[in-house]
Amino acid sequence: RVLLTPVDNIFIASLKGKIKKNHIYLSGNFGKENFKFKEINIKDIQGQFILRNKKFSLSAFARGSKNLDEFLANYFMNLDIANNILESKFSINGEKFGYRLAISGSFSGETENLKGNINYVLQKSENLISKDTVNLHIENKEYTYAKIFKNKLKFKFQPKISLYLDNPQVELILKDNDKYLYLFFPNVKIYKSKVELLSLVGFLAKVDDEKLSAYPFFHSGVFKGQIDLLRYWFSSKNLELKAKGKLNKQVISEVVQILSVDGDAQYSLNYNGNIKDFISRASLRIYSKNLKLKSTYVIGIVDIKDLMAYMSNGTLNLKLTAEDNLALLSKGIVDLYATSYLNKKEIYAYAEISNLPIKYQTLFKGNVTSELNIKLKNLEGEIKGRALLAGNLKLNLEDINNRESQNKESNLENIKLDIKVSSYLPIY
């Protein structure tokens, strides 16, 4: 019976062999069911070892875990005690929530300086997410230092989400009874198709038994700025986050291809709570007074005089006031008020448009005055109101039929329109 501390588990072991003056031979085996270490639970661990003079070999395997749907691990080691030469191989396979990770690797060399590699395959069901080989370096001197590194890693998620890591590094330091784990990602990029959604620059985090703590770092994408505070506690799943920055107008123009954006919109984000409550409890504020928008459907440039959006308690509120100075009779004005209940996926909006110059391909060019009420839930709902038009309308039945067959929007099939359209000036 062997008590392994500080794990606080008792392993049952057997030992037999012979010890002579010039010859030592010992062999044994060990095992433990329901191994527990903090939050980790392994159903069964078994192993055996042999010491023959100054040659030591060890093999062990583990299977089953309450933390995972499937789990299997193997470890093999040969140690030349006289020359301090170590050879080791290992493999780990696990599955959780449909994600399967398979790891295998080896390292060898003098015990003070070991080098090797780790192969991994990560997939969701039959979809391959990532497959690669990373480098491993271990130094054992006054303390143990281990480093895992690679020049580039790529992960592909569905649908069309890609994650790229440039020169990622994971470093582990074991000194006396202390351990330090560091994650360093100089450049992280997340894409949807070919559009960059998020980029992290200089991400450095320290991991201990309780939490992950990141040092301040920069980000870009839809928004660009700085993450001032990022901490995550493992046991409570509590996330603390503080960020600030501004709208990345170039990315917005790429994502929403009917818009080009100029000017600045600031944002601030604060959160402190369980990570599963992020949407319902995060506090987000977006504001601007100098945005300019240009659209394929609006004539001229729309000046955003006032934009205020804030999210709190799972509710996103938006207020927008805009002007277009190219209106023919008077200044074009747009007022928009919207409320979105994110957890319910509900959107309620009211738009008031006055004398806004618009165009639609070659069919219509003129002004619109309108009041619209919008109610949506899970992309279903209705748009109701009135629209007054004046301008130039070109009607060609054959051309209209061709456009309808070529431009069907599946996202709009479940949205009902109840809009009364009339003209306050002759349409010619």
Q: Pairing between strand 169-175 and 302-312?
A: unpaired
Determine the average pLDDT of the residues in 229-250: 89
Average pLDDT over residues 241-267: 72
Q: CA 8, 13, 17, 18 torsion: positive or negative?
A: positive
Residue 212, pLDDT score = 94
Helix, strand, coil shares of the chain, percent, nearest 5, are 5, 70, 25
User: How far is Cα 117 from Cα 140, in angstroms, rounded to an integer?
Assistant: 17
- Contact in structure between 155 and 130 (CB atoms under 8 Å): yes
pLDDT at 67: 87
Residue 411: pLDDT over 70? no
| 261/1: higher pLDDT | 261
In this predicted model, which residue has the larger pLDDT, 290 or 227? 227
Evaluate if residue 271 carries a pLDDT over 90.
Answer: yes
Residues 195-213: pLDDT tens digits? 788 899 999 999 988 899 9
The CA distance from 58 to 65, in Å, is: 22
Element housing 188 (H / E): strand 178-192
Global pTM exceeds 0.85: no
Counting residues of the chain whose pLDDT is more than 70, the rounded percentage is 88
- The mean pLDDT of 383-407, rounded to a whole number, is 72
Residue pair 69/95 in contact by the 8 Å Cβ criterion: yes
The alpha carbon torsion through 337, 342, 344, 348 (nearest 10 deg) reads 10
Answer for the pair 75, 107: CB distance below 8 angstroms, yes or no.
no
pLDDT category of residue 306 using cuts at 50, 70 and 90: confident
pLDDT tier at 8, thresholds 50, 70, 90: low
Q: What share of the chain in percent tops pLDDT 90? A: 47
Token digits of residue 157:
């998620």
Strand partners, 100: 95, 123
Maximal CA-CA distance, the chain? 114
Q: Which band of pLDDT confidence, cut at 50, 70 and 90, is reported for residue 389?
A: confident
**Look-up: residue for tokens 């790229």?**
164
pLDDT value at residue 18: 92
Per-residue confidence (pLDDT) for residue 330, from 0 to 100: 66
Amino acid in the structure at residue 299: I
Among 280, 288, 325, 328, smallest CA distance to 304 is for 288
Contact indicator for 262, 279 with CB cutoff of 8 Å: no
Averaged over 180-196, what is the pLDDT?
A: 89
**CA separation (Å) from 258 to 26, 79, 405, 417?**
76, 66, 20, 22
Tell me how long the chain is. Answer: 428
pLDDT in tens, 102-151: 999 999 999 999 999 999 999 998 889 999 999 999 998 888 999 999 99
pLDDT score of 179: 84
DSSP 142: S
Q: Scanning the structure block, which residue is given the tokens 């995060």?
A: 282
Q: How many angstroms separate the CA atoms of 268 and 263, rounded?
A: 17
C-alpha span between 99 and 12 (Å, rounded): 34
**pLDDT of res. 37:** 76
Tell me what the pLDDT averaged over the chain comes to: 86
pLDDT tens, residue by residue, 20-70: 888 999 999 999 998 887 778 899 999 999 999 999 999 999 999 988 999
User: In terms of DSSP bridges, do strands 259-262 and 223-233 run parallel, antiparallel, or are they unpaired?
Assistant: unpaired
Q: How many helices (H) and strands (E) does the chain have?
A: 3, 31
pLDDT of residue 3: 47
Task: Give the pLDDT score at 187.
Answer: 93
CA 245 to chain centre: 19
Residues 298-306 have a mean pLDDT of 84
Sort 406 into a burial class: Cβ within 10 Å, 0-12 / 13-18 / 19+: exposed
